[in-house]
Amino acid sequence: MPNRQTLFAFFTSAIVTFILASLANTQFVIAGLESVNVVIPLSDRVMMSWLDIQGLALTYGIVIMIGLLLAFSFMSLVNRFYPLPKVWFPLGGAIAFIVMIAAMEPLLGVTLITGARTTAGWAAQCAAGAIGGFVFSQLKAPSSKSAE
């Protein structure tokens, strides 16, 4: 069973990751609209971002939590043999997004995260995962050896 500090680190990193991934998704969608000459004022950008965070929380947020849980658990195991938590957890977060986004197409027939339909959008999602992994590595209890 993970200790309190590890649980705090996990949930904090999952929230940070979700917010960054959601914001990146929104901004890539807006960029796509602007590429066809749709003008979107800053106030609308902010409102769209907020609405996407709310709307994606119970779907993409949960998928992100599950993906990070699996990734961080695996990376905790790897870290026991090759202790480099500052490397493994960001890498695990990025890999979680590669797997999640890649799995959506064959499972669902579509990439549900519209902002990840381009290479740059996909990279932004992976960067959100890597940042979440970095947050986890910074907040995680150094002596915690249980699988998260």
Reduce the secondary structure of 62-98 to three states and give it as a string: HHHHHHHHHHHHHHHHHHHHCCCHHHHHHHHHHHHHH
Q: What is the pLDDT of residue 113?
A: 73
Q: How many helices (H) and strands (E) does the chain have?
A: 5, 0
Q: What are phi and psi of 116, to 5 degrees?
A: -105, 20
Q: Token pair of 10, please?
A: 């996990």
**Average pLDDT along the chain, 148 residues, taken 10 residues at a time:** 89 98 93 89 95 92 95 93 90 94 73 75 93 95 51
pLDDT at 91: 96
pTM over cut 0.85? yes
pLDDT in tens, 82-101: 988 789 999 999 999 999 88
